[in-house]
Amino acid sequence: MIKLNVTDETARLRAVILGTALSNGGVPKLEDAYDPKSLLHIKENTYPKEEDMVEEMNAVEEVFNKYGIQVFRPKLINDYNQIFARDIGFVIEDTFIKANILPDREQEIEAIEHVLTQIDEDKIIRFPEEAHIEGGDVMPHGDYIFVGVYRGPDYADYIIARTNMLAVEALQNQFPDKKVVSFNLRKSNTNPYENALHLDCCFQPVGEKYAILHKNGFLEEEEYQWLVDFFGAENVFEISSEEMFHMNSNIFSIAPDVVVSEKNFTRLNTWLRSKGITVEEVPYAEISKQEGLLRCSTLPLVRE
């Protein structure tokens, strides 16, 4: 049996689900894309190839093996994108919450049934179906749970708005001792430079006390400022819209002092190292074309 434990983004990782790029279905039709960055690469004929993405994900698995982390992979569904394991569910403390994910992605959850059967069934829950939520929007942080949302009345028009306030309320009810803080995110169906698809596309805590942040990802200046004040301006690494587009906030911590990052993130990786953090560099630029990166393709089950 797996004893779930996740209370933050950085504690030493012991077990994780890593998505898979195998049989991901090839280039989607324009109308089937569900994020603007994939859309852009479909239009420009630069959509990533399966073999390249498989290789990139293998490099991540190698890092996990090197650190003795137990790795689970989804069961294969033919011609279906299963790269972004993060969004299909998430662990807070000892509970696995199945996501109420975008209907286009619903089958991804069935593919981790062999992992869920190793978890105490009383510790697996799902919110009512109108409470939309995906793991990319949820970050436990000690006494806090940070959640990315879209609160606009035009929520239904945005295929990249995946978490709503009903889910924030459901989370607060489920974890009454935690302070659930939500952040209204900027959404664009068409411009990946102006789209924070999930909270982890514009923010992530890293190390003992630091955070990566992109101001324009937030619709409310005071909510962005709350995070700056929470971590302290001197501990925040602010990224540009170009860096957000390349998904710099979507690295993945496997310990307070070890981070898996993309090899081209020169400015970020240099800053991380200057803070005493070991950076395990992997190639992930092809995966990045689908508007997700390392945090998006991993679902932590057990941290220390």
Q: Which residues bind ligand ARG (CB under 6 A)?
A: 34-35, 38, 84, 86-87, 136, 197-198, 200-201, 290-292, 296
**Pair 178, 144: CB distance under 8 Å:** yes
**Pair 22, 297: CB distance under 8 Å:** no
Nearer to ligand ARG, 87 or 280 (CB): 87
The least CB distance from residue 62 to ligand ARG, in Å, is: 22
Nearer to ligand ARG, 148 or 207 (CB): 148
Residues 6+ apart with CB under 8 A from 263: 269, 281, 282, 283, 284
List phi, psi (to 5°) of 279.
-110, 115
Nearer to ligand ARG, 134 or 280 (CB): 134
Residue 30 exposed, middle or buried by CB count within 10 Å (0-12, 13-18, 19+): exposed
Nearer to ligand ARG, 155 or 257 (CB): 155
Nearer to ligand ARG, 144 or 158 (CB): 158
Nearest of 274, 246, 273, 277 to residue 262 by alpha carbon: 246
H-helix segments, 45-128? 50-66, 107-110, 113-116
3-state secondary structure 146-168: EEEECCCCCHHHCCCCCCCHHHH
The least CB distance from residue 47 to ligand ARG, in Å, is: 11
The least CB distance from residue 145 to ligand ARG, in Å, is: 16
Nearer to ligand ARG, 30 or 118 (CB): 30
In whole angstroms, what separates CA 23 from the centre of its chain? 21
Nearer to ligand ARG, 250 or 269 (CB): 250
The least CB distance from residue 102 to ligand ARG, in Å, is: 6
Chain residue whose CB lies nearest ligand ARG: 136
Strand partners, 144: 141, 179
Strands of the sheet with 278-282, listed across from one edge: 252-255, 258-262, 278-282
List phi, psi (to 5°) of 163.
-130, 130
299: its two tokens: 């679902």
**Pair 291, 41: CB distance under 8 Å:** no
The least CB distance from residue 87 to ligand ARG, in Å, is: 5
**Pair 96, 89: CB distance under 8 Å:** yes
The least CB distance from residue 274 to ligand ARG, in Å, is: 26
The least CB distance from residue 174 to ligand ARG, in Å, is: 20
Nearer to ligand ARG, 162 or 178 (CB): 162
List phi, psi (to 5°) of 167.
-70, -35
DSSP code for 29: P
The least CB distance from residue 53 to ligand ARG, in Å, is: 12
